[in-house]
Amino acid sequence: GEDENKERERQERRVAELMREQDAQKVAVEEERERKAEAERARREEEEQARLEKARREAQAGEQRIRERLEREREEKFRKEQEWREKEARRVSQVRELEEQERAEAEAARAKADAEQRRREEAARAEAQRRAEADAKRLEEEERA
């Protein structure tokens, strides 16, 4: 019986050893599974962070493009208003020059007409005086005759 007892103890030790090895293997498999799950979680988190960062950069770039477009539109509007003001100032200046020119021409025409009127009046007076002198001379000659 002693040999049987030793054999049974040896088999029980062997079974216990095998169960320990099996438990250790299960633990190793579980630890590996957890490590893989953690790595996958970390990878997904990095992808999500990268996606968020990309979205943030795209949003910033979009905002920048909008700011630049608004700035260009503001500059364009300012430039057009400036051009309009300059054009309007030139137009007003031309109108003033034309009005001044018309006034000067009207003044010159009036001065010419006045001078012409004075010349006619002067000619008429000279003609009247010449006639009066001629009449007086004729009368004098008639009286002498």
Task: Band the pLDDT of 100: cuts 50, 70, 90.
Answer: very high
Q: What is the pLDDT of residues 19-37, one digit of tens each?
A: 999 999 999 999 999 999 9
Report the alpha-carbon distance of residue 20 to residue 25 in Å, rounded. 8
Report the alpha-carbon distance of residue 107 to residue 116 in Å, rounded. 14
The region of weakest confidence among 68-72, 111-115, 139-143 is: 139-143
Report the alpha-carbon distance of residue 2 to residue 30 in Å, rounded. 41
Here the tokens at position 62 are 């979009």
Report the alpha-carbon distance of residue 6 to residue 8 in Å, rounded. 5
Distances in whole angstroms, Cα of residue 102 to Cα of each of 93, 95, 98, 106:
14, 10, 6, 6
Longest dimension (CA), the chain: 211
At residue 1, the pLDDT reads 84
46 has pLDDT over 90: yes
Task: Band the pLDDT of 93: cuts 50, 70, 90.
Answer: very high
**Helix, strand, coil percentages for the chain (3-state, nearest 5):** 100, 0, 0
| pTM beyond cutoff 0.75 | no
Task: Band the pLDDT of 145: cuts 50, 70, 90.
Answer: confident
Nearest residue to 101 (alpha-carbon basis) of 141, 69, 32, 109: 109
At residue 81, the pLDDT reads 98
